Amino acid sequence: LGFHASQRQRQGVSDMLERHPFSGPAHSAGELQHFVNKLLHRLQGLQAVFITDNYGVPLIQATREHKLEELGRSLAATFAISSDQASKLTLGANESIVCFYSDYVAVHVNHTPLCITLLANEDEANVGALMSIGKDLKNVTEPLRKSVLQVSEEIHTNE
């Protein structure tokens, strides 16, 4: 399995996250989309970034190939179910799941009610870097997470 990325590549992504004005929460969907697009093109092997709700509804996404867009919805919805089941193992709440496929590595990060999915080429994936970026994206997406929670609560209140 390819878990390699040069020190220069890892440092480049780290520098981008530190210098980028979105190292804290993004305050608009446009800012978040810009950040995700930039991230997609900075990290070698990264093919897609999906930020969805737990049902797989895309909120923010960036892909290198159009065919990956539908896959993101399926991955997110499946992750939500898998994460819920994994949390029942009495080990605590599930925070993330890494899936290895023949061509891709998917890192799913639980940020309820959001799902953050990073999809990379299997032979170029640096899982440690993807996990780190997933944690950074939790901070960046916090305002979006709060908005989705608020809307969800309003819908349930009006039922």
- Tell me, what's the pLDDT at 90? 86
How many other β-carbons are positioned within 10 Å of the β-carbon of residue 101?
Answer: 9
pLDDT in tens, 76-98: 778 878 888 888 888 988 899 99
- The pTM of the full predicted model, rounded to 2 decimals, is 0.79
pLDDT in tens, 63-81: 999 888 888 778 877 887 8
pLDDT in tens, 44-58: 899 999 999 888 888
- Tell me, what's the pLDDT at 3? 36
pLDDT in tens, 100-133: 999 999 999 999 899 999 999 999 989 999 999 9
Q: Which residue has the tokens 């908005």?
A: 147
Assess whether pLDDT exceeds 70 at residue 37: yes
Contact 44, 124 (CB under 8 A): yes
- Closest by CA to 110, choosing from 86, 74, 143, is 86
Q: What are phi and psi of 110, to 5 degrees?
A: -80, 120
Q: How far is 121 from 159, CA to CA, in rounded Å?
A: 43
Give the angle 117-118-122 at the CA atoms, nearest 5°.
Answer: 130
Residue type for position 103: D
